[in-house]
Structures are given as structure tokens and as C-alpha cells.
Chain A
Amino acid sequence: MKTPITFTLNGEEAAVFVDPGGNLLDVLRRGCGDLSPKYGCGQGGCGACTVMIDGEAHIACLTLAETVAGRRVDTAGGLADGPDLHPLQIAFMEGFAAQCGYCTPGMLMAAKALLDRNPNPTRAEVDEAISGNLCRCTGYEPIIDAILEAAKHRGAA
């Protein structure tokens, strides 16, 4: 039996019916049409589906959809403010921190969760924050550089 739930998705109200045991990734992608979180493993190993729930990074594929009822969910699809990109997005673009782009939305959300709670992270803290996110293209260094770069920008802004 499906359960109706409502939650806030990227600042707007979302209302969906979810299957018992249904995971947040499916609900976001198919129920809400937000395709920015990606399926990579379905078992919490790759981080491609990382979203923020009430400001904290979570793995959407391992989150029961019903548990987000009434909470705030943010995805990479809502990171930009209209046409204005988030500093992380700009830093990823300019720092060549994405190649195939499949891990990027999850990386961005893991990074945003970090910068929101720690605006001036050390390199080690950035390492730690994205340690649950796999990337097969970049070798991680450009991603770490981009996150540090974005932190610098946000600090200056």
C-alpha cells in the first residue's frame, strides 16, 4: 500500500505516494522528476545519489523515502539560484573537476554539506567529506582543489 508523504525539495513543497520500503532515490527521480541524484550501486557504496536532508549529506539509495516526510531535501538540481551558479559549481567547472559528470551531483552535495558546516575546511577535512563518493575519471585531486577553491570564494564573498 502506498503512503502519501510531503517534504520540501529544493525549497518547494513536494507531495508523492511512496511504496513501502521504497528508497528516496527512486522517489526523487521517478516520483518528483529530479534526475540529478544518480544510481551507481544501490548499496551505499558510491555516493552518486548523495543528497542533503535537513542540511546533512545522506545516501538517497539507502534512505527510506518515508523518513523524509516533513523534512527538507536538497539536491544538486537545486544548487544554482536560477541562472546564478553556486560557487561550488563554478569551481568544479573551472577546475576541471568533472569529466563524465556522473558522480558530480553527489560530489557537489557532499561538498556543500561540508562547506555549510565548515566554511574553511582543511584539505584533510575535504578528503574526509568526499570519502564516501567514488569518481573513476578525475583521480579526485581536481575535485578536492575545486572544493577548497570554492571555500576560498565563499569566504571572500
Chain B
Amino acid sequence: MVVEYRKDLFADERADDFDVVGKPILRQDILGHVTGRSPFYDDHLFDGLLHMRCVRSPHHHARIRSVDASGAERMAGVVKVLSARDVPVNVNTLLSLINFGRDDEPLLATDKVSYVGQPILAIVATSVRAAEAAVQAVRVDYEELPFVLDVEEALKPEAPVVNAEYPNNTFDYADTYDHQKLRFGDVDKGFAEADHIVEATYQMSPIEQAPIETCGAIAAPETNDRITVYTSTQGLFFSVGVTAKQLDLNSARLHFIGGTVGGGFGGKVDSHHEPLAALACLATGKPVKYMWDRAEEMQVGAPRGGERWKIKDGVARDGRILARMFTGFFDAGAFTRLSSYAVQKSTGHLPGPYSIPNVASNVYCVYTNRTPSTAMRGFGITACDFAIERHMDKVARAVGMDPIELRILNAYRDGDMKAHRRAAKNCALIESCQVVAQKTGWALSGEAMRASSKIGGGEGALGLIPETVIDEEGRIGERRRTGLGPEPDAGQGARRRLPQGHSAHNSSAFGNAPQREDMAAEQERSGFKAPMAPTAPAPKPAEPAPVAPPAAAAPVTGGPSLPSAYTARPAASLPTPPEPPRPAPTAAAPPPPPPQPEDPARPHFQRAVKRPGVSRFLSGTRRR
């Protein structure tokens, strides 16, 4: 592979004493690899090594009525049968070590199983074959439960509760919010000003990391009352911490040896093997190996979570993106593991490397009866980037513009204000696009070739935090009427354009404050009152005359050359936000709609018992 180091770009921003790129450097562990002597966890031999196999759920979702392991316990070679009762601290969540999220996942299932392959018993035997035979001899009586495998289905009120710790089927951020939210400017305004609305949904499937070395650990008793654990883990200190917690041991008694990982790609951070192997070691006094076979690796191993992204862009005729709205669903599977963090990552990544003056996003970490997902190479970013960049191409087609020029037009320049309220710096997307175009012989207009990440950044409104719509409580963003769940994809065709389509399903739009009775009651209860009762009804935004349908507009506008708005920085020509465009938001908020009688067309809120909201602010009544 030819690596080219472009020293001409950003020469003044960089120390220029790098002397590694472009030179062959031997890996420090390569000699062990080519001689077959690198010590992977399974390369430690022990006399009397015991082997572990788990009894696993064959169902997506089922209550466990009874477990009968008596047959297995009597079988030749079986040394120990471990159940949840043997685990001192059975329920854990990986990020509890940094106080993020509630313990939600049992090491061994007790009363119910929530995904296919969830372990119920761990059987320790003198050989793999004996352990496998014993697994077959265990009788588990299941009562199958309804299950849900789709993120949006999981958010419907009638969906089964996947994870009892999170009865809304969403992770609770700060125990309060059912999603991660980003608001910057006013997307409704942006959509209203746009010439084209480009909407699409993108789905990325779960992906198994499939390391060639399957996950596992060997725990062996030491002579000094410690346990040595040889493990394939990618997160050695996660594994030590989790093992100490779940076995209720002082971590000084645990000696972990890892670091030689036979391929991980994120799938070896979950720390489930080490506690079980160490527990079995304590229970038997013998070295115990818990190693997944290939089938377990593929079925039970936590994959990259599936993600669904809905993106809606408001685009000016010249290609400037005026508003971008995201709704994201991250499929955590049955338990949290690292998915809560993935959603934060993806939210931090929006709206992509583009200066967009109005951005809104709601991203949900959703529980389904799929295999719990975990880390994999850029999880939380990869799918979201896939969606964003596919969408950029779609936008380019809608406005009839070269896709690379569209990116150059909208790319961050140094000094632009990002949606996260930090100024962009060290931007290089424009230069990267230019080099790619050069290398591939892709013709760009002269203007696009002259553009630079250093020119025009932060000009005018682009360097400022725009007036951002907030609700009457002074919070960022809308009060969601539906609380949970996406806006249904009802309106097709013309109805999909803002504000009709938007407000039809999420009446709050932005800045509105539609109140539900249950939410108002909750306010009463919690003692929170808006500082000022909203009085003056703000004029309801007139239904904007539908702009030219994108399909018709697309081929007409724009040739390959950039519009003249180009050199004058994409959004420099954007209207600066009117100074105080509206009175204080609390006063501006339109009054809550008159109390509505229970509307049977809105089942979301009549099922508070079934799916009570968690968030005081977002989702209606509280859980307990």
C-alpha cells in the first residue's frame, strides 16, 4: 500500500519532525507471531484443566419456570454445575465501573431469558465433551413470552418489556432522559426556508466481529491464594473490575494476564468469561477454561449494534444545507453493555463535518430481544457516517450538484461554530475532497478547487451560536408529545414536508409547548412551574406553500459548476438570526392546547401503566 504524506497541506500548523510515516517498522510482537510462540490465553497448559459449557436459552424471550440439572450433575466427568445462586453479585452492567447506567444484566439468568443464547447454567466438567453432554441433559421449562426484534417496534406501547431495569425499552440517560438530544438553531425555520426537503431512512445491520481466536479465559488457582486469569479480553481493567465486583473479591486476589489478543475488533470487552471462569476456579479449586466455540462466538458473541437513522434535510437551491434533523435508533439488544455510550458518541458526531445552521437530533438507545451488542470498530460512528454520507449524495442529486462539490460547499471551515457549540478547528475535509478528486481524475470547478478550510470560516452567523429554540421551561428542544417513539412515518408525498408532516406527528414542532395532562400533573406533583404562564398565542406558523417538489426541481437546477454563493462561504449568505427573533421563549411559547379529552387515536399516553414514562420532562408519568 502506498502511503502518501501530503506535507504541502497545513505545513504551518504542524511540527514537521515526523519520521515514522512511510518507513517500515517491525511490530514489537511480530517475532512471536511468525514463530507461533505468542502467548494467547489458550496457550497456557494446566494439568487437570476443567472445561466449562453453558446451558443457553433457545428462545428470544421466555420466563424460566424451572431448571432441572439433577441429571447433568450425576453424569460422568461433571464436576460442578453453577447457577445464578452461586454468583455473589449476579447482576452487573459493564459501565457501572464508571457509574454510567444501572446494573441490568445477570451473569447467569434467573427468572427469564431475553435473547437466544443467554446463559442460564454453567457446567464444569473434565472435558469439553463431558460438559457438552451435561448441557444436553439439563431440563429447562420455559414459558415463551412475546418478543420484539425491531427498534421502532420496541418503542411502541404494546411492545414487551425486554429489560426489566429499563421498562421503556430505552436507556435512561442520567436516569431521566429517554434519548440523547442535540439542538442548534431552529430546524423548522430552516425547513421553511429550504427549496428542497430530502428525507431518507438508513439501516445498518448488526455485524459480528468474528475474531479468529474465540473469546475465553482460563482461571487457575495460585499458591498464594490468588487466582490467575489468562484472558482474551481487550479491556483488562474492565475484566478485573467486573470480576472483583461480581465475585465480591478484593481485586488484590486477582492476577490478570492478557494483552495478547487473537483479534478483538471490540468484541472482547464484555468481561463475561473471566468472572465465570474465576467463579468456577473458586468453586472447584482447579484451573478452569471457559472458551467459546465458533458457534457461540457467532451466536452469543455481542455484535456491533444495528442502527437506524432517519435524516431530513432542508436544502437551498444552491446546495447549502439549511437544516438537518436526525432521529436515530441504536439497537442495544437485550442489555446495555456499551450501547448507551455508542449513542452518546453518535450524537457527538452529528451532523457530520458540515456547517449546518439548524440541527436537531433525538437518538434512542433501544432494547430488543436481540443478542446484546457491544463495541466494534467505531460503533456509534460508522453507521451514522454511512447514513450522513449516503444522504449527502441524495441531497446532491436533489439539487443537481456534483456530490464532492456539495461536500466542499458545506464542509466545516476553521472557525465555524459546530452544533455542539465548539468552534471547528484543524478542518481538512475540503483539502481531502480536492486530493481525492485530483487522484481519481474527478473534475471539480475552479471555485471548488480554490476553496480552503482556512477561508471564510466563522464568517457572520457561521461563527456564532444561533438562537436555539427552547421550551417554556427554558430547556433545549421541544416537549415531545409522544414521549417515546419516533414520529410515525405516516405522511407520504407532500405531507412529508414541514411543517405539516412534522407537526402532524410531533405537534410540539420546536418552540411549541404542547402539554399533556399527565405531564402537567407531573409538573404539579414535582412542584415545577413554568416561570410565567404563557399567554400570548404565537401565531401558528402558516402552512408554508409547498416548495417545488424535489423530484421536479432536481434535474432543473445547477450544472456541475458551483453556484456563485460558493466563494461567499456557504452559509455566509445565510440570514443572520434576527437579533432577538422572538421574545423570551417562556413568553413566546404558545399556550398549551386546551385540555383535550382522552384521544383514542393517541394510544401512547393511555398506556402509562404499561409503558410509563421515565422522564419527568419528556415522557410523561414517572416510572415508580
Contacts and interface: CB of A to CB of B under 8 A. Distances in A.
A15 interface: no
A101 B33 contact: yes
A36 B37 contact: yes
A136 B210 CA distance: 8
A134 interface: yes
A35 B273 CA distance: 22
Interface in B207-254: 209-214
A96 B24 contact: yes
A96 B27 contact: yes
B212 A103 contact: yes
Nearest to A86: B34
B43 A80 contact: no
Contacts of B34: 76, 79, 85, 88-89, 92-93, 98, 101, 104, 108
Interface in A106-157: 108, 134-137, 141
A94 interface: yes
Nearest to A77: B36
B29 A101 contact: yes
Interface string A16-50: 00000000000001100111111111110110100
- Chain A, interface residues (CB within 8 Å), range: 35 or more
Interface string B388-431: 00000000000000000000000000000000000000000000
Given A35-B43, A93-B26, A100-B263, A135 B31 contact: no
A43 B29 CA distance: 28
Nearest to A104: B33
Contact of B263 (A29, A136, A141): A136
A35 B45 CA distance: 9
A150 to B, nearest CB: 11
Contacts of B177: none
B30 A105 contact: no
Interface in B1-57: 1, 24, 26-27, 29-38, 40, 42-43, 45
B211 A42 contact: no
Please classify the interface of chain A as helix (H, G, I), strand (E, B), loop, or mixed, using the class held by over half of its residues.
Answer: loop
Contacts of A76: 34-36
A40 B31 contact: no
A141 B1 contact: yes
A42 B293 contact: yes
A25 to B, nearest CB: 11
Contacts of A79: 34-36
A37 B40 CA distance: 11
B262 A102 contact: yes
Nearest to B34: A89
A139 B111 CA distance: 44
A59 to B, nearest CB: 13
Contacts of B209: 136
B307 to A, nearest CB: 22
Contacts of A100: 33, 211-213, 261-264
B286 interface: no
Interface centre among B29, B30, B33 (most CB of A within 10 A): B33
B265 interface: yes
A85 B38 CA distance: 16
A42 B294 contact: yes
Contact of A135 (B1, B30, B43, B212): B212
B202 to A, nearest CB: 25
Interface in A34-80: 34-43, 45-46, 48, 75-77, 79-80
Given A38-B262, A93-B30, A48 B36 contact: no
Nearest to B211: A136
B233 to A, nearest CB: 14
B37 A77 contact: yes
A143 to B, nearest CB: 12
B36 A105 contact: yes
A55 B37 CA distance: 22
Given A40-B214, A79-B35, A101 B294 contact: no
A101 B32 contact: yes
A49 to B, nearest CB: 10
A38 B35 contact: no
B210 to A, nearest CB: 6
B212 A38 contact: yes
Contacts of A34: 36
Nearest to B264: A100
A30 B48 CA distance: 11
Contacts of A45: 294
Contacts of A36: 35-37
Contact of B35 (A40, A46, A89, A96): A89
Interface of B: 1, 24, 26-27, 29-38, 40, 42-43, 45, 209-214, 260-265, 291, 293-294
Interface of A: 29-30, 33-43, 45-46, 48, 75-77, 79-80, 85, 88-89, 92-94, 96, 98-105, 108, 134-137, 141
19 contacts: A35-B43, A35-B45, A36-B36, A41-B294, A77-B36, A79-B36, A89-B35, A92-B30, A92-B34, A93-B30, A93-B34, A98-B27, A100-B211, A100-B261, A101-B38, A102-B211, A102-B212, A136-B212, A137-B263
Sort A-B residue pairs by CB-CB distance and give the 8 closest, nearest first.
Answer: A36-B36, A101-B33, A102-B262, A41-B294, A76-B36, A89-B34, A105-B36, A98-B33
Given A33-B45, A46-B294, 6 more contacts: A36-B35, A40-B294, A48-B212, A77-B36, A93-B27, A100-B262
